[in-house]
Amino acid sequence: MTTPVTERPPKPRNGWKAVAVLAVIAIITIWAGIGVDADLGDIIDNWGNATGKLVQLMQPDYWFFPETVDAILETLQMAIIATAIGAAISFPLSFAASRVTNPNRAMLAAVRAVMNVVRAVPDLLYAAVLVAVVGTGALSGILALIVFNIGIIVKLVSEALDSIDRGPQEAALAAGGTWIAANRSAVAPQIFPAFVSQGLYTLELNVRASAVIGLVGAGGLGMLIDNVRTFYKYHQLSLIILEILVIVLALEMLSSWARRKLVG
């Protein structure tokens, strides 16, 4: 009785490609590190100083909590206002930025070009410019977040529009409806769950972003972080970081619950 010969699985022929890709990535990384004068020795030399700061960050000053309440409330208020206004502006712009819902190619190209510019500018730069225009405080932060939100929501919702089922829309147009009427009756109900989901996601982003744009004077916890950091009060800074973490996690849980209830 002959023993059946088991065939060995063929060796992958593209192994050299993976090695080549990894080599290219390594070369680019080393080149970039040399270009920015990255020196791992600095981490070793300054590790003692960093250890002291990390120890302080691991010991939050909970007695500082009453001083942070106003900044926390201002951060949440900024995020809610910016999300509501940004979402309201973004909804019609999303229809104008989708080739499925906007038959005017010139307008489509113009809206997409403007949105590309809006997304290309960092939210921190928006905040810095608006602080110089309207002054420090929550107003400049809200305006910066609104622009930041419009760029995100229009991008995500317009891409969702590009992949919807066009059957109901085409039926509405064939029945003699205008593009606006067809989009309102046939497309808006399909895209609304995705719009709500992206709006809740943006609300989460706004809480994080408000802590960053506040560093340039745009209100919220960021301004408090800048004041504490200036005087090297790392125990208090640790408490603020912990508060941001708790707020973001709670908001994420709330958003997940709202998505299940509203989106289904």
**Structural domain boundaries enclosing 228:** 62-262
Q: Are residues 19 and 94 in the same domain?
A: no
In this prediction, residue 84 carries a pLDDT of: 93
Structural domains counted in the chain = 2
Within a domain: residue 9?
no
Q: Do the domain assignments include residue 50?
A: no
Quote helix, strand, coil % in the chain, to nearest 5.
Answer: 80, 0, 20
Residue 198 lies in a domain: yes
| Residue at 103 is within a domain | yes
Same domain, 118 and 203: yes
Residues 106 and 228 in one domain: yes
Contacts of 65 (CB under 8 A, 6+ apart): 239, 243
Kindly state whether residues 24 and 136 are assigned to the same domain. Answer: no
pLDDT above 90 (res 210): no
Residue 235 vs residue 177, higher pLDDT: 235
> Would you say 210 and 221 are in contact if contact means Cβ atoms under 8 Å apart?
yes
**Least trusted range by pLDDT, from 19-28, 92-101, 129-138, 180-189:** 180-189
Give domain status of residue 142, yes or no.
yes
CATH number at residue 121: 1.10.3720.10
Q: Does the pLDDT value for residue 82 go beyond 80?
A: yes
With a cut of 60, say whether residue 9 has pLDDT above it: no
Cα distances (Å, whole numbers) of residue 242 to 59, 61, 77, 90, 246? 11, 11, 19, 32, 6
